[in-house]
Chain A
Amino acid sequence: MSADLTDSILYLDAVSVSFDGFRALHDLSFVVGRGELRAIIGPNGAGKTTMMDVVTGKTRPDKGIVIFDGSIDLTTRDEASIAAFGIGRKFQKPTVFDGQTVEDSLLLALEGPRSAFSALFGWRSRVAVEQIIDKLAIIRLGDLRSKLAGSLSHGQKQWLEIGMLLAQNPKLLLVDEPVAGMTDAETEETARLLTSIAGEHAVVVVEHDMSFVRALGCKVTCLHEGSVLAEGTIDSVSANERVIDVYLGR
């Protein structure tokens, strides 16, 4: 267990959360390794989004341990400090700054001082430009850099949001349903994008689209009623009797 902890980027042990008597998470335990790509699947209400809320500081767990990067206890921190430790989160609904250009959105996300006073009196760094160009290339929005984020298509917004996460340079990215509402071509492109950034960053993807999960080609964790139902390769998980019963259907 301690070997697990020191090798892990994210370590959850017996985490429970209830809302008004509803158990959203129940003794949830799993471990994500450094640079690992992990897919999380499970039926609606399985606790996938609540798990992300707990990790990013939006929700405080009732009990349990959440350790980031082998030593940082996340259960007592707020969103801003958790983001500063190196956890980025993409929302299920693409959430971008409608009034900012693509380039400015990435600039806002770029790793750097975040305090109100530094923003009021600080200078912009020149190095930033190169990093922005680099991120634009990864998310393939280079031609749209001076367009307003609000005018992008659904898929482009999803990529911009992923680009903003990358600009944060996090050690762990949590990505909630990135391909919802995407065309098949966009879905393929997104799978390519996520597999290419794993390794350098650990990536946890919550997704319903099984062909997309298969395209990610990574370890899969299936949640059900707030705890882990099955874990392993996509083939072993999708062959699991209980997974078929509660989630995939016969």
Chain B
Amino acid sequence: MIAFFFRKFDRMATGFVILLAAIAILVPVLNLAVPEGSPFHIPTYLVSLWGKYLAFALLAVALDLVWGYCGILSLGHGAFFALGGYAMGMYLMRQIGTRGVYADPVLPDFMVFLNWKELPFTWYFFDHFAYAVVMVVLVPSVLALVFGWFAFRSRVTGVYLSIITQALTYALLLAFFRNDMGFGGNNGLTDFKDILGLSVQAPTTRAALFALTAVFLALGFLVARAIVVSRFGQVLAAIRDAESRTRFLGYRVESYKLLVFVVSAAMAGIAGALYVPQVGIINPSEFAPSNSIEAVIWVAVGGRGTLVGAALGAVLVNFAKTWLTGMLPEFWLYGLGALFILVTLFLPKGIIGALTSRFGRPGDGGAQ
């Protein structure tokens, strides 16, 4: 499989990984080593902003893996992202210790405010980083496993599946809004101080988080790529093109879907965990159905079924969002809607899809 993996490793994929490696090194250097007056200096706020874009890019790659390669249009991938984010946020909350407003050594501020006397069991062990990291991957994966097991076994497909994924994230949104869930309710988790003993505000920590996000995006991309070029990936594409044909050829379609869905959810969870320390807050609005739909638009804009395109779309659309919400905040949603319509009409394969079908050899860019 290894040899096969490299044989199919085209120029675009190589270029993408090299680019990520380069920015993982360059951006921290330009931020930390170049003095502030220099035109080459990158300010810390931009480092975190682009770190956020890269976390979104990892979410987009995860979504493209299930949507672009297996035809599972998940409109609830934001839920897996947010769960990974909450797991990281819970670790960060427990690192605050006595530095909170109420200075309780164990209970986070919102629990003291709610007059709770002891830590709920869901928060046990979250003071250990390793435990939090395991939960970042485990919680989204288990949710995807249970949800997928029921949905795929009952052969829910197409628009019906999209609707129940949307319901899933909406249900979690409502649940996390409740104070008695014990995850900070409406306000979510914020006011973070340290991660692994380093201040989350420090420029060095921010630069390290950025580099780490770039590395995880590259790793996530390589895992997704290894999956789609394997025989497993070929079966996924077969399921996407003709599910019943694949089934009658003797493939147990639901196991294939379930496996790729769980891998994708784990990847989305990691993306959420990288996102939270860089933006400094996680609250229930991350579960909002519109977030998941936005992620689908990133993938569509960049190029569904191309992986690189998904990452590119996430960065481009979010860059446009930052820019436009700064200039004309009330027009962003119209802009996003117009973008989706224009891409669907004029670039049905997205940016990368359009570029490869014009200039590329067949086989470049993954999906054909």
Interface residue ranges, A against B (CB under 8 Å): 56, 78-81, 83-84, 88-89, 91, 95-100, 104, 107-109, 114-116, 119-124, 148, 150, 161, 164, 168
Contact = CB atoms under 8 A, between A and B. Distances in A.
Contacts of A107: 234
Interface residues of B, number: 28
Given A99-B240, A109-B249, 10 more contacts: A78-B252, A96-B245, A97-B242, A97-B246, A98-B242, A108-B234, A114-B249, A114-B250, A119-B256, A122-B1
B238 A100 contact: yes
Interface string B89-115: 000000000000000000000000000
B252 A115 contact: yes
A89 B248 contact: yes
A129 B165 CA distance: 41
28 contacts: A79-B248, A80-B251, A80-B252, A80-B253, A83-B247, A83-B248, A89-B248, A91-B244, A95-B245, A97-B238, A97-B242, A99-B241, A100-B241, A108-B238, A114-B252, A116-B232, A116-B252, A116-B255, A119-B232, A119-B234, A119-B235, A120-B227, A120-B230, A120-B231, A120-B259, A122-B231, A124-B231, A164-B249
Contacts, number: 87
A148 B249 contact: no
Nearest to B367: A99
A181 B240 CA distance: 25
B237 interface: yes
B237 A99 contact: yes
B106 to A, nearest CB: 43
Contacts of A168: 249-250
B368 interface: yes
Contacts of B250: 79-81, 83-84, 114, 168
A140 B353 CA distance: 32
Interface of B: 1, 4, 227, 230-232, 234-235, 237-238, 240-242, 244-253, 255-256, 259, 367-368
A162 B353 CA distance: 32
Q: Which 8 residue pairs spanning A and B have beta carbons closest together?
A: A83-B250, A119-B232, A120-B232, A97-B241, A95-B245, A80-B252, A116-B255, A119-B231
A83 B245 contact: no
Contacts of A99: 237, 240-241, 367-368
A79 B247 contact: yes
A168 B247 CA distance: 13
A38 to B, nearest CB: 19
Given A80-B247, A95-B242, A121 B256 contact: no
Nearest to A108: B238
A201 to B, nearest CB: 15
B241 A98 contact: yes
A100 B248 contact: no
Nearest to A89: B248
Nearest to A111: B250
A99 B239 CA distance: 11
A106 to B, nearest CB: 11
Contacts of B237: 97, 99-100
B251 A114 contact: yes
Nearest to A107: B234
A103 to B, nearest CB: 11
Contacts of B240: 99
Nearest to B240: A99
A150 B368 CA distance: 11
Nearest to B263: A120
Contacts of A109: 249
Contacts of B252: 78, 80, 114-116
A114 B252 CA distance: 8
Nearest to B247: A79
Q: Which of B235, B242, B247, B256 has the most CB of A within 10 A?
A: B242
B1 A121 contact: yes
A48 B18 CA distance: 57
A104 B249 CA distance: 14
Contacts of A88: 248-249
Contacts of B367: 99
Q: Which of B235, B240, B249 has the most CB of A within 10 A?
A: B249
Contacts of A123: 1
Contacts of A150: 241
Contacts of B255: 115-116
